[in-house]
Amino acid sequence: MTLAKAILKQDYQVPTFPTGWFAIALSKEVKKGEILSRTFSGKDVVIFRTESGKAAVLDAYCPHMGAHFAHGGSVEGEDIKCPFHGFCFNTDGECTKTGYGTKPSPRAKSYSWPVDEKMGIIFCWYHPEQIAPTYHIDTMESDEFTDYKIHTWEMISNPTETAENSVDVGHFSHIHGYKDPHSINPLKLDGPFLNVKYGMYRNGDFIGKPKKNFLIEFEIFQQGLGFALVEAHTIELGVKTRHLVMPTTIAGKEMYLRIGCAVGKIKDPGKIMPILKILPKSLITKIMHREAFKGYIHDVYQDFKVWQNKIYLTPPALSKGDGPIMQYRAWAAQFDYELNQRVNANIEDN
């Protein structure tokens, strides 16, 4: 049996904790010498930053006798020091010294979670069997865009469900009010990466032109389930925005949903409104950024009621007009480690 077939079985449910890279914290939440306590994919962890600035994620409980590092622990140089007996651990989770100057036991080793910090975000790799990362996130940084503003929610859902939004063409008009969503580039699946491009129309009331509809092209770069970058281009106005979608499982059905918004630096403000020509471009970019961020929070929030209360139906009763939902689901199944194990062992055939 293949993964694509396995997800069609009536009792298939998305994994509680899919594998991959997920945003575990924002860089600014963990300054040098600080320790942050988080639950990530069902596990209690600590995120700390050494004096030289390196961020690391270790299991929260000290391998010596189980104290929680974040409750009374400290950062000492490049190590985290446990509050209970003063054992120190480096960013690889190795015990560098005991509290008594004796030789540490080889068992005094903590799991060091793979970390990748970029663009002000600390990404952490989750795999239930601690298998090393099999892909990397490309944040596509560009001088043409501002930095990201980021908003975080805590909610009930799952990354496999929220990421499905990007191919759920039917909901773009119904939930978000876009008109005539259509495909520009078809769905491209490449290992853990998914790319697709749509066009759709939005009413111009966001710039005080409610009688006009503007074509917006959206290109989605989904990288695993924990990171998506969506570039939106309103061609007529010469405005580009970038949007991040970063769901991160906490425990059970709880997850963080972090969203980010950046805008392309405005080059020709007259295209938006002739009067804007008199203002400095940097000011217009700033205002656009603020407004685009507000609008983006509003748009994503429109999905919340559905996400938080829906069930995952297998198989769904799809109709013409739906997007490539089943292709997406077959792709997303690669992040369901248990299902992969069962398929590889042919257990799904029984």
**Residue (58 or 163) nearer to ligand FES, CB:** 58
Residue 68 binds to ligand FES (criterion: CB under 6 A): no
At 303, list the tokens. 């999905």
Stretch touching ligand FES by CB under 6 A, among 20-28, 33-41, 59-67, 342-350 = 59-67
Provide φ and ψ at 122, rounded to 5°. -100, 110
The span from the CA of 175 to the CA of 198, in Å, is: 16
Q: Please answer whether residues 178 and 172 qualify as being in contact, where contact means their C-beta atoms are separated by less than 8 angstroms.
A: yes
Q: Quick check: 226 and 250 in contact, CB under 8 A? A: no
Q: By CB under 5 A, what part of segment 138-197 binds Fe ion?
A: 165
Determine if 175 is a binding residue for ligand FES (CB under 6 A).
Answer: no
- Contact region with ligand FES (CB under 6 A), list: 62-70, 114-122, 310-318, 327-335: 62-70
Cβ 120 to Fe ion shortest distance, Å: 24
Compute how many other C-beta atoms are within 10 angstroms of the C-beta atom of residue 291: 14
| Using rule CB under 6 A, residue 65 touches ligand FES | yes
**Rounded Cα–Cα distance for residues 114 and 125 (Å):** 5
- Out of ligand FES, Fe ion, none, what residue 303 binds, judged by CB under 5 to 8 A for its kind, is Fe ion
Residue 172 vs residues 157, 200, 246, 311: alpha-carbon distances, Å = 19, 9, 19, 19
| Long-range Cβ contact pairs of 209-216 (< 8 A, separation 24 or more) | 213/179, 216/178
24: tokens are 């575990």
Question: Which residue of 67, 189, 287, 325 would you call a contact of ligand FES, by CB under 6 A?
Answer: 67
CA atoms of 32 and 28, how far apart (whole Å): 10
Q: Which amino acid is at 245?
A: V
Segment interacting with ligand FES, rule: CB under 6 A, options 39-47, 60-68, 114-122, 231-239: 60-68
**Does 140 contact ligand FES by CB under 6 A?**
no
Spatial CA neighbour of 17 closest among 107, 125, 108:
125
**Least spacing, CB of residue 175 vs Fe ion, in Å:** 6
Binding residue for Fe ion, selected from 59, 231, 303, 336, defined by CB under 5 A: 303
Q: Phi/psi of residue 164, each to 5°?
A: -65, -25
Regarding 84 and contact with ligand FES (CB under 6 A), the answer is yes
Minimal distance, residue 53 CB to ligand FES, in Å: 25
From the list 48, 87, 293, 335, which residue makes contact with ligand FES (rule: CB under 6 A)?
87
Contact of residue 65 among Fe ion, ligand FES, none (CB under 5-8 Å per partner type)? ligand FES
Question: Rounded distance, CA 248 to CA 124, Å?
Answer: 10
Q: Which is nearer to Fe ion, 158 or 165 (CB)?
A: 165
Least gap, CB of 81 to ligand FES (angstroms):
8
Sketch the per residue contact string, 20 through 39, with Fe ion: x for CB under 5 A, - otherwise.
Answer: --------------------
Which CB atom, from 14 or from 62, has the smaller least distance to ligand FES?
62
Residue 35, classified by CB atoms within 10 Å of its CB into exposed (0-12), middle (13-18) or buried (19+), is buried
Q: Which residues bind Fe ion (CB under 5 A)?
A: 165, 303
Q: Which residues bind ligand FES (CB under 6 A)?
A: 62, 64-67, 82, 84-85, 87
